[in-house]
């Protein structure tokens, strides 16, 4: 295939006779599923259910019917005809609406990771339903739900990568989650006899990273361009939003953000202390990883 899915003809690059020649005139090859994994018909278009895609043009033949699906922090989403943010090697679009990280398509545990994310998404909604209307916790979680959208609606792009050095990372309209690292810590906690909930901890990571995307407007250089005090405040906001998950679901947090055993009098003070400590540690770690230290502006 050429970029975006146009087929190469037979004899090109040693390809056999199962490849049509010329490719744009004859699509009667042995496998109707082409570059996108969708069936290509006699018109040379791939049917996605929501709309048709033209591999020869690298564009959908009609605009995204969700007119509000463009994301301000992701300019590649502004073109309503574009396929996978103009990056078909990195992203896939299984429905004609929503992009998944393409590397996940070849991973053996890809569906398990997506299932885990869906469960976490459900726990965020559950927590939101329990939040007092107009409270800070309500607005923090509502913002996350709106930015994520639903599966099938363009929102924050979700990827999984077990090579990143933290539980999660956010940049340029995408959050990346390291479930292996998260599970290692949860397993360590469980082995010590303490409690931990995988879906709720995953939900906490999602809330944390989506909050970062909101506060940084998706800027990939936020740790370099933003001053230390602003990055620190953003981390505090992210941990505060994350703490809402544990408070509303009344579950102990592995970050010390909430413990059901806390008394009502002590809880706010202990939670604020945990937020400040976690935020400072995360800020120092992230900025050192990006070549900046707290003494520099």
Cα separation, 83 vs 46, whole angstroms: 12
Average pLDDT for the chain: 77
Which residues contact residue 185 at a Cβ distance below 8 angstroms, ignoring those fewer than 6 apart?
167, 254
Q: Under DSSP, is residue 297 helix (H, G, I), strand (E, B) or coil?
A: coil
DSSP-H helix ranges across 93-226: 110-130, 136-148, 179-191, 198-216, 222-225
Q: Under DSSP, is residue 82 helix (H, G, I), strand (E, B) or coil?
A: strand
Which residues contact residue 75 at a Cβ distance below 8 angstroms, ignoring those fewer than 6 apart?
none
- Provide mean pLDDT across the span 127-142: 96
State the pLDDT at residue 100: 56
pLDDT at 191 exceeding the cut of 80: yes
- Provide mean pLDDT across the span 59-74: 60
pLDDT at 78 exceeding the cut of 60: no
């Amino acid at each position: 295939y050429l970029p975006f899915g146009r087929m190469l003809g037979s004899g090109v690059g040693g390809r056999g006779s199962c490849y049509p020649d010329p490719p744009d005139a004859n699509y009667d090859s042995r496998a109707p599923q082409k570059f996108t994994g969708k069936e290509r018909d006699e018109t040379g278009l791939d049917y996605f259910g929501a709309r048709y895609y033209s591999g020869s043009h690298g564009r959908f033949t009609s605009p995204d019917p969700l007119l509000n699906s463009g994301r301000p922090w992701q300019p590649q989403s502004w073109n309503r005809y574009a396929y996978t943010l103009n990056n078909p090697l990195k992203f896939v679009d299984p429905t004609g609406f929503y992009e998944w990280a393409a590397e996940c398509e070849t991973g053996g545990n890809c569906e398990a990771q997506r299932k885990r994310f869906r469960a976490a998404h459900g726990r965020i909604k559950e927590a939101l339903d329990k939040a007092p209307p107009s409270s800070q916790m309500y607005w923090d979680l509502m913002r996350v739900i709106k930015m994520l959208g639903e599966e099938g609606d363009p929102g924050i792009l979700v990827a999984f990568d077990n090579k990143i050095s933290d539980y999660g990372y956010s940049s340029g309209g995408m959050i990346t989650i390291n479930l292996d690292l998260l599970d290692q810590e949860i397993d360590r906690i469980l082995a010590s006899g303490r409690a931990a909930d995988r879906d709720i901890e995953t939900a906490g990571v999602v809330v944390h990273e989506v909050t970062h995307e909101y506060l940084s407007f998706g800027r990939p250089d936020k740790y370099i361009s933003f001053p230390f005090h602003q990055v620190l405040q953003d981390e505090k906001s992210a941990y505060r939003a994350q703490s809402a998950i544990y408070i509303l679901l009344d579950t102990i947090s592995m970050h010390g953000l909430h413990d059901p055993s806390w008394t009502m009098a002590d809880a706010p003070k202990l939670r604020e202390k945990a937020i400040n400590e976690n935020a400072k540690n995360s800020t120092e770690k992230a900025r050192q990883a990006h070549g900046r230290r707290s003494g520099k502006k």
